[in-house]
Structure 1
Amino acid sequence: MRGRDWINLILPDELILEIFDHLDDKSSRDACSLVCKRWCSLERLSRDTIRIGASGRPDELVRILSRKFVNVKNLYVDERLSIPLPVESGRRRPSVLSVRLHLLSETSGSQDNETEAYCLSDAGLAAIGDGFAKIEKLSLIWCSNATSAGLKSMAEKCKFLKSLDLQGCYVGDQGLGAVGECCKKLEDLNLRFCEGLTDAGLVELAIGCGSTLKSIGVAACAKITDISLEAVGSNCKCLESMALDSEFINNRGVLAVAKGCLKLKELKLQCINVTDEALQAVGLFCLCLELLSLYSFQRFTDKSLYAIGKGCKKLKNLTLSDCYFLSDKGLEAVATGCTELSHLEVNGCHNIGTFGLETIGRSCRQLSELALLYCQKIGNFALSEVGRGCKYLQALHLVDCSSIGDDAICSIARGCKLLKKLHIRRCYLVGNRGIIAVGENCKFLTDLSLRFCDRVGDSALIAIGRGCSLHHLNVSGCHQIGDAGIIAIARGCPKVSYLDISVLQNLGNMAMAELGEGCPLLKDIVLSHCRQITDVGLEHLVKRCPLLETCHMVYCPGITAAGVATVVSSCDKMKKILVEKWKVSQRTRRRAGSIISYLCVDL
């Protein structure tokens, strides 16, 4: 019957709660909570995740939220986010930040006290313990006012805690020790940039949570040494993932982890004092290893990769970055020994060349993602072997590979027809022939980036427009691309949501009009340094792209204050506009000042 509330009369609370549990989008949940008081109350009961940025009086905010959302299991506090400031006069759009601003307006005192009010303190940590007793995952990013006292009070009450992220928090050993003593279910721990910690705190935690700890990350902790890693190796037998970035870790610590943590699956190391001895132990003992990332190693050689290839048969993901003494022989050892490899990144390893990558193409048939960055010695024939052997390749990244050209890209296009992502930057031998082959063969391609590839022109994009359904396109700095190429994309790729056409000197208003007509799903566009685009073209674009959220248009002399005003008035969903300050009128600034950013303030 019309006017009767059949849903609330018939559906029990349990069924409505189950419906809410299937809503992953926060905006959908917020909308449901506004239907009626019953739905608001039930939605609060079902909410299990809360995210808090920098806000006025966060301690009080935590108390308020803990009273409203009693079943929260995941709490994320990130004080890197920008701090909203009160508006003294003028109108502004209402937002969720209004609660935070109201809390801020109630404060008084000196400027220093106001600054401290933005940071979660020990009182806030105590409120987390009191109000979120069911919490399982807690992330405290750069909460600089939190100390050991607050961490201890939280740990004593959060007995179900499984994941703790303390990145950038200046907590001490007593707080970390309390976590080890009280949180016996802890599995994941992040201690990056926790400068106040020493070996004493981490040793105590390893002893307390050793039976459950599965993941640990340490970076820029100068007082954490091999002593901590020896405790981890002795107590954390279930450890599966470790990330270390330290100048103070030596072979002794890594050896202890390799010998003691036999279930290790992921290992990321940036430790300049670690040598072949430690990496050989990883290959000998960590037989379950699936991911290995080695950064800035200057003291180990191919001997390490020989050991990895011989022992780590389950390795699927390998990253080698700035490892200067590795050569083709080491990569060959990994290729022949780790045939399940699916992801490979080689970055700045100047002694690795064509032969090493050839063996990857011949042996690693499951390869799905390949990234070659600053690899000057790798030539076309290497990618030809990848094209022949790696039929499941879905993503290829090439940056500053001066010896790779059209022959290589043609081989990839003909052999890797499942390719979805192709990113090429500053590979000056790649031109139209290679990209045309991609358009003709790679029908599943959705993400294409060709930054500063001088030989790529309109004919390449015409082939892409005919053969692929792109969602993301970046052709920044491809000077030969003009209206014809972008028009082909507009007509052939209606699902494009991200487009970077910056530094295209031959691009004009006709292309903008076609983009507006053909790409209604466009959300992000970068057209900076496009000298031929004017207010007319911009108007055609924004009038027909209602979903636009970001627009970068600096150094476009044909775009004036009128064009900027048109963007603001036409795009209700706009979140960020990047433009010169002098092109923004007072009226536009009053209307949308919060979403406008300035690259060059006084030009």
Structure 2
Amino acid sequence: MDTLLCDELVQEIFNRLPPPSTPAVSLVCKRWRRLLRSSTTSLSLHFPPPYNPTTITSFSTFLTHHPYLSSLSLAGGAAEDPLIAAASSCPNLRRLRFWGTPITPSSLHTLSGYCIHLSSIAISISRPLSFNNWLPYFTSLKSLSIFITNSYTETNHNNNSEVKDSIFDHMGLSLESLSLCGILPGDYELSFLWNNCKKIKKLQFKSCESVGDYSSFSSFLKSLKDLQELELRTCRSIVDVILLKLAETCVSMESLLIYDGGSREGLLQFINRSKCRLKRLDVRLPLDLNNAHMLALSENLNFSGLACLRLQSCCLVTGEGLRSLGRTIANGLDELSLINCDVVERESGLLTSLGQILKRLRKLDLSYNHTLLDKELVSMLASCNNLVELKLRGCNRLTKTTLSSLVRSCKQLQFLDIMYCSRIEVEAVEWFLLNSPPLRRLEVEQSKLSEGAVKRASSKFIEIVS
């Protein structure tokens, strides 16, 4: 039987198998193991210590059996040896993630010689920071993600006057995506990035207290003519600086995510001054976001083309602000998320009016509104006939009534998340699977899946995620 299928067909079958089945496939026979390895383009490995010549050699040999490997994620390391072994064994790597020990500049320089095609790197580095003796040598690099691990000591702290120029200081890099985590005041070495990264399209800051040299950073922001996405996660001390500068100079940004940051006045000034035609706005844990911001969004015509609005834990926003904004963006809004928002539970009739205003919605997320009732949601669903995706995770007061409404009103629904909805019982889940023909994916606890429900899902090619 094994010989009836050619190598190409077997490999195509392997490519369509779910990842958990890979270990079993490799044990069937030597031919299948060889074909599986030669068809594998991505690996995620945990390689813990101890490291010695024998284990490193075995690791290198294992990787050489995957000649078409282009993406590698490596964790568990307490030394750089596995990274160098991987680099020397996988010359065709395009994407590399190494979350272990911080990598030294000399090792990164070595890596650039082995993997000349690398376009994406995610690594940890330590202070003192250094970029000009390794980053320019990755000539194909488009995406760089850096996690800075250690804090300052007397030996690794540099002040601004100690940062020396080099021949690469203004050479220009081809980076299009830059993610930085853990910046502290005094990280002036980051000026190398600010001076050389002029083509950034996606910019991310995570847990950053500073941006290093503010002068070079200001020039950097001013030069970002192609910036499309900005994410600011837990960066309270720099959010206002970044937003106000971009409000003055940036017109290309389409997506903005702010998680736990930004002052009330700073956010309001950005909204009022911004020239960006945002398509996606995602604001999470904004302690100061209120109706003034919602009204400002509705009055700035640059935001009238919003296709995705996501608000999470916005305790000061009321129905008045949401309705006002909804009327402005109703024609283009495709996705709405109101996650753990008090206003959903506090104002009766809000969801009904939003449903009547936002009839074109295709994706709706109302997760973790713990006291949301069937009658409120059902009245909204009656108007949202175009929904293809609905997330109700953690809404533990909803019952079978909601599922009945979905079958009646949302005949295009393909994705549903009812995980942790404690009042939706086993029988309701089975009934819904039987009566919702378009469904393609259901997220629900394993304990709520009867044998009959599993069979129905399988026969209708519905993916169940537990």
* TM beyond 0.5: yes
Residue 350 (str. 1) matches residue 294 (str. 2): no
**Pick aligned residue for 2:226 from 288, 304, 315:** 288
Contact 1:44 1:69 in 2 (8 A): yes
Partners of 1:204 and 1:125 lie apart in 2 by 28
The runs of 5 or more residues in structure 1 that have no matched partner are: 1-33, 81-111, 475-498, 531-537, 550-569, 578-603
- Is the 8 Å Cα contact of residues 184 and 211 (structure 2) preserved in structure 1? no
CA separation in 1, counterparts of 2:182 and 2:166? 15
1:360 aligns with 2:277: no
Q: 1:377 aligns with which of 316, 335, 340?
A: 316
The 3 A distance-change label for structure 1 pair 71 and 574 is closer
C-alpha distance after superposition, 1:154-176 (max 9, x if no partner): 43464443222223367655442
Aligned to 2:339: 399
After superposition, the Cα gap between the structure-2 partners of 1:339 and 1:526, relative to the gap in structure 1 and judged at 3 Å, is same
Decide which of 173, 181, 191 is 1:237's aligned counterpart.
173
Alignment equivalent of 2:142, drawn from 182, 198, 214: 214
Matches within 5 A, 1:509-520: 511=428, 514-515=431-432, 517-518=434-435
Preserved CA contact (<8 Å) 1:232 1:257 = no
Q: Would the aligned equivalents of 1:306 and 1:334 in 2 still touch at CA under 8 Å?
A: no
- Percent identity reads 15
Q: Is the 8 A contact 2:84 2:111 kept in 1?
A: yes
What's 2:75 paired with?
A: 142
Q: Kindly tell me: are residues 429 and 162 of structure 1, through their superposed partners in 2, closer, same or farther at Cα, counting changes over 3 Å?
A: closer
For residues 80 and 58 of structure 2, the distance between their equivalents in structure 1, rounded to whole angstroms, comes to: 13
- Aligned partner of 1:122 in structure 2 is 56
Q: Aligned pair in 2 of structure 1 residues 300, 218: CA closer, same or farther (>3 Å)?
A: closer
- Structure 2: segments with no counterpart, 5+ residues: none
Do the aligned residues in 2 keep the contact of 1:383 with 1:409 (CA within 8 Å)? Answer: no
CA drift at 1:548: 5.0
**Corresponding residue number in structure 1 for 2:258:** 320
The answer (yes or no) to whether the contact 2:260–2:285 under 8 Å persists in 1 is: yes
User: 1:262 deviation in Å?
Assistant: 0.9
2:332 is paired with a residue whose SS is coil
What is the aligned partner in structure 2 of residue 559 from structure 1? none
Using the alignment, how far apart are the partners of 1:379 and 1:335 within structure 2?
A: 20
The answer on whether the counterparts of 2:348 and 2:376 sit within 8 Å (CA) in structure 1 is yes
Give the alignment's TM-score, normalised by structure 1. 0.60
Evaluate the alpha carbon distance shift between residue 515 and residue 240 of structure 1 in structure 2; reply closer, same or farther with a 3 A threshold.
closer
Question: CA offset at residue 178 of structure 1?
Answer: 1.2
Residues 172-571 of structure 1: pairs in structure 2 closer than 5 A = 173-191=105-123, 194=124, 203-209=132-138, 211-222=139-150, 234=170, 237-248=173-184, 250=186, 252-274=188-210, 277=214, 280-300=218-238, 302-323=240-261, 325-327=262-264, 330-334=267-271, 336-362=273-299, 363=301, 364-390=303-329, 391-404=331-344, 405-427=347-369, 434-451=376-393, 462-469=404-411, 470-474=413-417, 499-500=418-419, 502-504=421-423, 511=428, 514-515=431-432, 517-518=434-435, 526=444, 541-543=450-452, 545-547=454-456
AA partner of residue 388 (structure 2): T
Q: Cα–Cα, structure 1 residues 439 and 349, in superposed 2: closer, same or farther, change >3 Å?
A: closer
Alpha-carbon deviations, 1:460-491, whole Å to 9, x = none? 655443211333445xxxxxxxxxxxxxxxxx
Which has the higher relative contact order, 1 or 2, with Cα contacts under 8 A spaced 6 or more apart?
A: 2
Distance 1:451 1:70 in 2: 38
With over 3 angstroms needed to count, the CA separation of the structure-2 counterparts of 1:208 and 1:508, relative to structure 1, is closer
Shift of 1:392: 1.9
Change (3 A) 1:175 1:129: farther
Q: CA deviation at 1:199?
A: 5.7
TM-score by length of 2: 0.75
The aligned length equals 443
What is the Cα deviation at residue 140 of structure 1?
2.8
SS at match of 2:382: helix
Deviation readout 1:366-391 (Å, 9 max, x if unpaired): 21221111211111122112321212
1:376-425 Cα deviation digits (max 9, x unpaired): 11111221123212122222222332234345433432232221222224
Tell me, in whole angstroms, the C-alpha distance in 2 between the residues paired with 1:52 and 1:231.
46
Letter in 2 for 1:543: G
